[in-house]
Amino acid sequence: KTLDEVPNVSGVSNSPSAQASTAPDTVPPAAITDLAAYPGVEIGDVLLSWTAPGDDVRTGTAVTYTLRISTTEITASNWVSATLVTGVPAPSLAGTRELFKLSNKPIKQTYYFAIKARDEVPNVASLSNVVNTVAESKRKLYLPITLR
């Protein structure tokens, strides 16, 4: 506003305004390439491990994982028909080792696993490496040994 000698008061003039221009996020998390599966210690357990990708490739933190299981090999073309695994924890910071246990799987059955990470947009990572393992029928017991 301005004021003259009379005094006349003007209205607000040329109010500055700006809008931040942000480019859309088009960078997905990196594909998980070190997914591993092992028989668990307890009967019917399966253990999975992998390294957390980032929100943008290998930086930051992704938002969610989609883990799928099948009794046949998982591929990009049959990914959606594989069974969704629930209870997978939220991703950790990129580079963190992730561990997940599935319990009470039918024994002596081969299971295939694949995983994808997703960010907030959601940009979705490519399919991980596909791994398999067998849910064991015997409890693993590890005894210490003494060498003489």
Q: Which amino acid is at 84?
A: L
Helix (H, G, I), strand (E, B) or coil at 79: helix
Based on C-alpha coordinates, what's the Rg of the chain? 26
62-83 per-position pLDDT tens digit = 999 999 999 999 999 999 999 9
2-61 per-position pLDDT tens digit = 666 667 766 666 666 656 657 787 889 999 999 999 998 889 999 999 999 988 877 889
The tokens describing 27, both together, are 């960078």
Who's near 98: CB < 8 A, 6+ residues apart? 49, 50, 51, 52, 89, 91, 92
> pLDDT band for position 88 (50/70/90)?
very high
Residue with tokens 């997914």: 35
What's the gap between Cα 79 and its chain centre?
15
